[in-house]
Amino acid sequence: MSKKYILAFAIIVAVALGIGIWALYPFPTSSPSQSYNSTQHTDPDWTCPPEGEPATPLPDFLMVVAEVMPSVVSVTTEMNVSSFFGQSTEYVVGSGIITDDKGYIATNNHVVENAQNIYVELDDGRILPANIVGTDPLSDLAVIKIDATDLPYAYWGNSGLLSIGDWVLAIGNALGGGGGATQGIVSRLNVSVNVDGNTLYGLIQTTAAINPGNSGGPLVNMSGEVIGITSVKIVASEVEGIGFAISSDEAKPIIRDLIRYGHVTYPWLGVWARTVNPLLAATMNLPVDRGALIVEIVAGSPADTAGLIEDDIIIHFGGQEVSDIADLVRAIRASEIGEDVEIAFVRGEDTEITSALLVEYPTS
């Protein structure tokens, strides 16, 4: 091939590549009417914004764990179980919170119920037998005691001061592996959850991971105060990060009564009710969109004696507003056995007032 043909071929290739590159990268051309003004969006007087307050540091989880961990114990319960194959021993693991230096430990009722033997492992490695002081299935709380003194104990906080988004730590014997901690935030407050037919009220929902073995352990704020007792989690393939703790405000009076008396007595009204909300009100054509709708009255109960009937909607109890079932339960439990309580309720289109003499919650 001659030099003339080689040169011609090179020119053709170069032109072809130039066209290809131009087709792939069609850079705009400027025209007098569409010129790009490089100073159009500039600001010659701009300065960096002045520094504000220092950013809030992330929570110091290490210090919180160091503060709380010595007061958290692992609880192991032995139970004798009968089956087709005969008697066997099952073990339930949980957690507990040392509540004073005398050996009282708060935990969940479901951790220790039906126990033949209970053993507690302290943070320092000691393993001691424990005895049941008292249990309360309604709140899923229990108190056990070990024969030890001068123990490190937890400090209780006020769960009523919590806000959604607050940092919390769940500390306990997760999966029976000993003391551990998980972090999360408060997701919801004053939640009600039905567990095996028993409704727990005033719960704290948290994203802190709660696993088997955590039950009975503390949920603490960033001051290291116990603001809840971890109790239950929702287990489902489509659910993640939903656990619940009994709030400290609900737990403290129950723990106190269990330590003082060995049992808890509740005032009793004697109604079955459901929460009234706007959807239920619209569906049932109710006159109000909040309150507790009575669906059943126990014969001979304080509610029956007070003249309440089915379909009445309780809106105030003992001076406290009732917007839902949790409000009613809380108001009843805040009352005293033998107290004559004023009740406001809606019947038809009228609001009426009655009073009920509360009695002790029947055990059978």
Instruction: Tell me which long-range contacts 328-337 makes (C-beta under 8 A, separation of at least 24).
Output: 328/273, 328/292, 329/199, 329/201, 330/201, 330/202, 332/266, 332/267, 332/268, 332/269, 332/358, 333/266, 333/267, 335/267, 336/267, 337/265, 337/267
Structural domain tally of the chain? Answer: 3
Domain membership flag for residue 58: no
Domain CATH for 196: 2.40.10.10
Choosing from 71, 74, 187, 215, the catalytic residue is 215
Asked if 135 and 204 sit in the same domain, the reply is: no
Asked if 170 and 229 sit in the same domain, the reply is: yes
| Residue 311 a catalytic site member | no
Domain membership flag for residue 54: no
| Helix then strand then coil, % of the chain, to nearest 5 | 20, 40, 40
Domain CATH for 307: 2.30.42.10
**Strand 117-121, strand 155-156: pairing:** unpaired
Of 221, 245, 261, which marks where a domain is finished? 261
Residue 18 pLDDT greater than 50, yes or no:
no
Asked if 252 and 279 sit in the same domain, the reply is: no
Q: Which pLDDT value is given to residue 194?
A: 79
Helix (H, G, I), strand (E, B) or coil at 21: helix
Closest CA to 217 of 132, 115, 105: 105
pTM of the model: 0.75
Of 97, 120, 146, which marks where a domain is finished? 146
Percent of the chain at pLDDT > 70 equals 81
* Dist CA 306 CA 224 (whole Å): 46
Q: Which pLDDT value is given to residue 296?
A: 94
Asked if 250 and 160 sit in the same domain, the reply is: yes
Enter the DSSP assignment of 336.
-
Choosing from 71, 74, 110, 312, the catalytic residue is 110
Asked if 161 and 106 sit in the same domain, the reply is: no
> pLDDT for 108-153, tens place per residue?
999 999 899 999 999 999 999 999 999 999 899 999 999 998 899 9
Residue written as token pair 């919180």: 64
| Residue 215 a catalytic site member | yes
Asked if 123 and 161 sit in the same domain, the reply is: no
Domain membership flag for residue 43: no
Asked if 169 and 257 sit in the same domain, the reply is: yes
Choosing from 140, 249, 312, 327, the catalytic residue is 140
Domain membership flag for residue 13: no
* Dist CA 146 CA 292 (whole Å): 42
Domain membership flag for residue 214: yes
Q: Which pLDDT value is given to residue 39?
A: 56
Yes or no: say if 243 and 200 are a contact pair by the CB < 8 Å rule.
no
The domain of 118 spans 69-146
Phi, psi of 344 (to 5 degrees): -105, 135
